[in-house]
Amino acid sequence: MTAPQVAEAVFDSHRFVKRLTEAGMERRLAEVLAEEHMGPWIRNVATKMDVEDFRREAATKADTELVRKDLAKFRTEAAPKKDLADLRADMASKKDLADLRADMASKKDLADLRADMASKEDLAELRADMVSKEDLAELRADMVSRKDLEHTVELIRLDVEKRLAHLRGDLIKWMFGALMAQGALVVAIIKLFS
C-alpha cells in the first residue's frame, strides 16, 4: 500500500463513536457499530504465527546442500558425446561471460548490502517487541465472537423498534389531544362571536 492508501485505511473508532453519540445514538450501540467496522482490519493483521510459517517456507541451508549434492551427482554421471556437443553449442562465449561479470555486483556492492542488512541484535530487538502467543490468546479470549456480536446487534435493533413504536403511540396521542384542543378553541371562538 502507498502512504495515501494507508492513511485512507485508518479507521478512527473513537471519532466514529463520538459522532454517533453526538447525533443522538446511544453510546453502547455506537460502540458495537465501531467494533463491527474494525473487524476487517483486525482480521488482516499478520500474527507471529503467520511470520513463523513464512520463515519455514523460505529456503534453508539444508535445501541448498541437497541442491549441491544433486549437482555433484549430475557431474559424476557421464553424458553421451552428442549431449556434450549440444551442451557446448548452448554454452556462453567468453564475451557473454565478460558481459555477465560486468553486470554482476562487485565486492563493494556486497559489502554495502551487508552493511544495510539487519544484525542479530536488531532481530533480537524485533523479536522482543513482537506479540507473544499468550498475548494473542488473551486478545482472542477478550474479543467478542461474531455470533455474540450479531445477537447483541439484533437485541439493540429490537429495542430500537420497540422504542419507535412507543414514540409513534405517544405522537398519535399528542396529535389527537392537540386536535381536540383546536376544535374546542374553534367552537369557543364561534360562540364568542355569535
Residue 182 lies inside a defined structural domain of this protein: yes
Mean pLDDT of 78-98: 68
Report the residue count for the chain. 194
pLDDT for residue 171 is more than 60 = yes
Span 9-49, pLDDT tens digits: 567 888 888 998 999 989 998 888 888 877 766 666 667 78
Q: How far is CA 66 from CA 73, 78, 120, in A?
A: 11, 20, 26
pLDDT for residue 180 is more than 90 = yes
pLDDT for residue 68 is more than 50 = yes
Residue 5 lies inside a defined structural domain of this protein: no
Residue 120 lies inside a defined structural domain of this protein: no
Q: How confident is the model at residue 100 (pLDDT cuts 50, 70, 90)?
A: confident
Q: How confident is the model at residue 4 (pLDDT cuts 50, 70, 90)?
A: very low
Residue 156 lies inside a defined structural domain of this protein: yes
Residue 9 lies inside a defined structural domain of this protein: no
Residue 164 lies inside a defined structural domain of this protein: yes
- Domain with 173 in it: 144-194
Report the pLDDT value the prediction gives residue 116, as an integer from 0 to 100. Answer: 75
Helix (H) or strand (E) run with residue 190 in it: helix 146-193
Rg (CA), the chain: 37
Report the pLDDT value the prediction gives residue 58, as an integer from 0 to 100. Answer: 62
Angle between helices 27-43 and 146-193 (to 10 degrees): 150
Around Cβ 136, how many Cβ atoms within 10 Å?
13
User: Between 11 and 61, where is the model more confident?
Assistant: 11
Outline where 10-60 has alpha helix (H). 13-22, 27-43, 48-57
pLDDT for residue 5 is more than 70 = no
Report the pLDDT value the prediction gives residue 3, as an integer from 0 to 100. Answer: 46
- Mean of pLDDT over the chain: 77
Report the pLDDT value the prediction gives residue 156, as an integer from 0 to 100. Answer: 92
Report the pLDDT value the prediction gives residue 1, as an integer from 0 to 100. Answer: 46
Residue 47 · residue 136 · CB < 8 Å: yes
The amino acid at residue 137 is: A
Residue 169 lies inside a defined structural domain of this protein: yes
Residue 30 · residue 16 · CB < 8 Å: yes
Q: How many folded domains does the chain comprise?
A: 1
Span 113-159, pLDDT tens digits: 777 777 778 777 777 777 777 877 777 777 767 788 888 889 999 99
User: Between 193 and 108, where is the model more confident?
Assistant: 193
Around Cβ 30, how many Cβ atoms within 10 Å?
19
